Amino acid sequence: MIVKRSPAKLFAALGFSLLLTACGSDTAQNPVIGSLVQSLPTLLSGKAAAEAPSADQIRSRLTPEVRAQLGNVALKIAVLEKDNRASVLIERQRNRDVVTYFTPDGISMSYKSGVLVGTRGLGFDLMGADVGDVLQSLRSGRDGTVRVHRYLDGEDQIVLRSLVCDYTGSGRITETCYSDGLEIKNTYQMSGGRITASRQWIGPEQGYIRLEPAS
C-alpha cells in the first residue's frame, strides 16, 4: 500500500509527463498531469506567482484606451483584504437591481443596489444573501436587522448563516453584525442615497472585499 519514491524520481516522472501532456487530439484527457505541471513552479518555489498590482496601480493603468478595449462598460476596483489582492471589475450583467461584475480571470461579484449578494470562483463563495431588510435599514438606520448568507459546504449542500446587524453613521454607514460568536463590520460610503464604495464581508474563509470607484 505504500509506494516509496525518491524525490529525484518524482521530478523525473513529472518531467516525463511534461513531455507527454500536450500529446493527442483530446488534450482534455490529461488535466491531472496538466494541473500538476502548472502547480509545479509554485510547489518548487513555495510561494505564489508574481506580486499583484495595488488598487492605485490598477487605477493608473485604466487609460481611456484600455477602457475602450473593455467596451467602455462600467468599471470598479475590488480589493480582497485577506491577501491585499486588487483587481478591476468589469460590469457584465444587470438583473433588476443586481449588478454582476467579472474580474479578468473569471471571478464574479454580484451587488444588489451596492450590497454584496454573491461571489463565484473564489472558493468558499457567498452563494447568496437575503439583504432586503439591510437595504431598508441602510436608509432608516433601524437596528436588529437580519441578513442571511448562504454558502456551500464540503458536500455541496447549502448552509445558512444568519447575522443580526446594527447601523451607525449617515454619510459613512457602519453595519455591525453578530452571528455565532462572530462580529463583522461592513462599511458603506453613501452619496445621494446610493452606495459609492464599500467594504463588505464575504464569509469566514474569504474575509472582506472592498469595492471602490475606478476613477
Partner 1 sequence: MRKAQKNRSKRRRALRPLAAIGGFGLMMLPAGAQPQGGSTYSTYGTPGLIDMPTAQSAEDAELGLSVSHFAGGTRNTLTFQLTPRLSGSFRYSKIESYDRSFDLRYRFLDETPYGPAMAVGLQDFVGTGIYSGEYVVATKTLTPRLTITGGLGWGRLGSHNGFTNPLGVLNDRFETRPTSSASTGGQIESAKWFRGDAAFFGGVSYQATDKLALKAEYSSDAYARETRVGLFERKSSVNFGLDYRLRDNMHMQAYYLYGSEVGVSFNLLTNPRKPAANGGTGAAPLPVKRRQAGQSADLGWTQNPETAQSLRDQTAALLSNDGMTLEALRLSGSTATIHIRNARYLARPEAIGRTARILSQVLPASVETFTIVPVENGIPLSATTLKRSDLEELEYAPDATWRSYARAEISDAADSLEGTTYNGVLYPKFTWSLGPYLSTSYFDPQEPVRVDAGLSLEGRYDIAPGWVLSGAIKQQVAGNVGSTTRASDSKIQKVRSEGFLYAREGETALNDLTLAHYFRPGQDLYGRVTAGYLEREYGGISGEILWKPVGSRLALGAELNVVKQRDFDQGFGFRDYSVTTGHMSAYYDFGNGYEGQVDAGRYLAGDYGATFTLDRTFANGWSVGAYATFTDVSFDDFGEGSFDKGLRFVVPLDHFLGKPTGQTYKTVIQPLTRDGGARLNVNGRLYDSVRSYHDPKLKDSWGRFWR
Q: Which of residues 17-56 bind partner 1 (CB under 8 A)?
A: 17, 20-21, 23-33, 35, 42, 48-49, 52-53
Q: What separation in angstroms does the CA of 174 have from each of 8, 29, 115, 134, 195?
A: 55, 50, 13, 12, 12
Q: Which is nearer to partner 1, 143 or 205 (CB)?
A: 205
Q: Hey, which residues between 108 and 137 contact partner 1 (CB under 8 A)?
A: 108, 110, 112, 117-118, 120-125, 127-128, 130, 132
- Amino acid letter, residue 12: A
Residue 121 C-beta: closest distance to partner 1, Å = 4
- Map 126-155 to HEC letters: EEEEECHHHHHHHHHCCCCEEEEEEEECCC
- CA dist 114 and 192 (Å) reads 13
Residue 205 C-beta: closest distance to partner 1, Å = 7
Residue 33 C-beta: closest distance to partner 1, Å = 7
Q: Hey, which residues between 172 and 201 contact partner 1 (CB under 8 A)?
A: none
Minimal CA–CA distance to 125: which of 155, 152, 100?
152
Q: Which is nearer to partner 1, 57 or 140 (CB)?
A: 57
Question: Where is 114: in which H helix or E strand?
Answer: none
Judged by CB under 8 A, does residue 169 bind partner 1?
no
Judged by CB under 8 A, does residue 7 bind partner 1?
no
Pairing of strands 194-203, 207-213: antiparallel
Q: Which is nearer to partner 1, 108 or 186 (CB)?
A: 108
Judged by CB under 8 A, does residue 164 bind partner 1?
no
Q: Which is nearer to partner 1, 70 or 141 (CB)?
A: 70
Partners of residue 149 on adjacent β-strands? 129, 161
Backbone angles phi, psi at 107, to 5 degrees: -110, 140
Judged by CB under 8 A, does residue 208 bind partner 1?
no
Q: Hey, which residues between 135 and 154 contact partner 1 (CB under 8 A)?
A: 148, 150-154
